[in-house]
Each structure stands twice: as C-alpha cells, then as structure tokens.
Amino acid sequence: MALKIWLNDRLVDEAEARVSVFDHGLLYGDGVFEGIRVYDKRVFEMEAHIRRLFDSARAIRLQIPMSPKEMTKAVETTVAANNLNDGYIRLVVTRGVGSLGLNPFTCKTAGVIIIADKIQLYPEELYEKGMKVISATTVRNHPLALPPQIKSLNYLNNILAKMEALDVDVPEAIMYNHEGYVAEATGDNVFIVRNKIVYAPPVEAGSLEGITRAVVIRLARQEGMEVVEKNLTRFDLYVCDELFLTGTAAEVIGIVEIDGRVIGDGKPGPITRLLRDRFYSYARRKEK
C-alpha cells in the first residue's frame, strides 16, 4: 500500500508528495526536523518532540505555519492514515520556496512534510552482541557556529563522520568537539558507565539534547543510579566499564569496542541491558 504523506496542509499519496526545486530546505539545508518513534500506535514523547521542533524553528527565525496543537494533530492523522503500529515519523519544516541566493526572507511560507513509515536502524543481533565504533577525525560543529540544540536539516558534519565509520565497516563513529571532548555519535547520544556511575557529555559539548537521552537519564535515576553530565575525553571511553548510545531510531544500544579497544568484557554490560529493558517497557507503557 502506498504511503500517505502530509504535505503542507493535507495528506497526499506518496507519488504526489513533491517539493519545489526552489525550496531552501533543498537548496541550502535551511530548515528543521524531528525523528519520532511510534510504539503500539502511540507517538512516543510527542509533546517533547513538538516543543523541540518549535524551539529549533524559533532559533533560526523560521515561522512554522501551524500551531503546536495543529502540528500534533497532523502527526496523529498521518500515523493513522498509514495504519502504523510500530514505526518512525520524520517531521520536516523547510524554509519554503524562495529565490536563488541565501536570503531566507524571499521564502514566504514554510513547508511542512510528515512521513510515517517503518524503520530499523541496526539489526537485532547488534543489540544482543553489541556494536563496534571508531573515533571520527571530523570535528563536531563549533557550538557557537551552530547551537547543537538546533536539529537542523544540514547534517553534512555528521554525514562526513558517518562515512569514516562506513569506510572501515563499522556502523557508527564518535565525534569530538574542537576541544577534544566527546560530543555525540553521528546520530545518537553517548553514555559511559564507570564504577556503576552513568556519565553523559553535557549539551554544551556539542551534542543534541536528545529526547531518548532525557528519558534514559530519568529511568536511570529511578533505578537509583547516579547520573553525571560532564566533559568526557577519548581516554574516558577507552577505559570505561560500559559504553552505550541512545537515540530515537537506535533506542539503547551497547558498544563493545572503540578504536580497537574492547569495552568491559566485550559484551553489552549489565547497566546497558537494564536501561534498554526499562526503556523498552517505558516506551510500550508497560511501566510508568
């Protein structure tokens, strides 16, 4: 069955979902987006995602032609139209159609695109066995050049780091900021465990303020774990007891090797497994 895509103000068939070649989202990566999961027909953390979308838009002076309530309704309508039980939503707001040239003020109305479909970022066996990663040489964008809280359409910085990983047959790379501190992976947030304490880089280090990241921190604290946000170095990753990533598509996935160094005993650690289980239960409303 062909997908139904929300385009600007209504649902259209997938074949009709077309964007102008003069849209500044295409020409310049000028726009913002959200990736959102659907579990058992429920949109996961909808309010938090919509809030972040509007915050990102406000930060780049992009006027979304819908209210948060209208956007929420459009997302729900798209999910229902595609009869999606478990899947992924890509919610995109572009600057809209304008003239050639950087001037965003030639774009009169922002474009809205909502896609609801299935996704599996990593094969299931990686969640059981764990994943290998490398350290990217591509430096994360300077936070004063582009605030990491803005989830923009321009992902070239992350893509260059992703290519480094794929070139050596691993699925992910850890990115560091201009000072050498851990920022994030190419599409996920980073956590380590050391002496049963969970550590995460602060947003100021150059990481997106992830929705899944926030949920995992909350779940860890509910389990009585100490969670500390602090700058982490490559050395911290090399000697930690556990290393794991969180993200909308990835959920919670353990890392068992970085740059050829084995993490812990070479298997996803007990805290990683516990938090993955707790996240799975929380996402499917099996626990509060």
What token pair was written down for 70?
């209208």
Q: Are strands 261-262 and 197-200 parallel, antiparallel or unpaired?
A: unpaired
Torsion of Cα atoms, 45 then 187 then 247 then 226, to 10°:
-120
Contact present, 135 and 177 (Cβ < 8 Å): no
Residue 165 amino acid letter: A
Q: Which H or E element spans position 222?
A: helix 211-222
Going by the DSSP 8-state scheme, the letter that residue 85 receives in this structure is S
Q: How many CA atoms lie within 13 A of 40 on its CB side?
A: 7
Planar angle of CA 35, 190, 140, nearest 5 degrees = 80
CA distance 186 to 174: 7
Known catalytic membership, residue 151: yes
Contact present, 197 and 243 (Cβ < 8 Å): no
Residue tagged active-site, from 4, 41, 69, 151: 151
Residues that are catalytic: 151
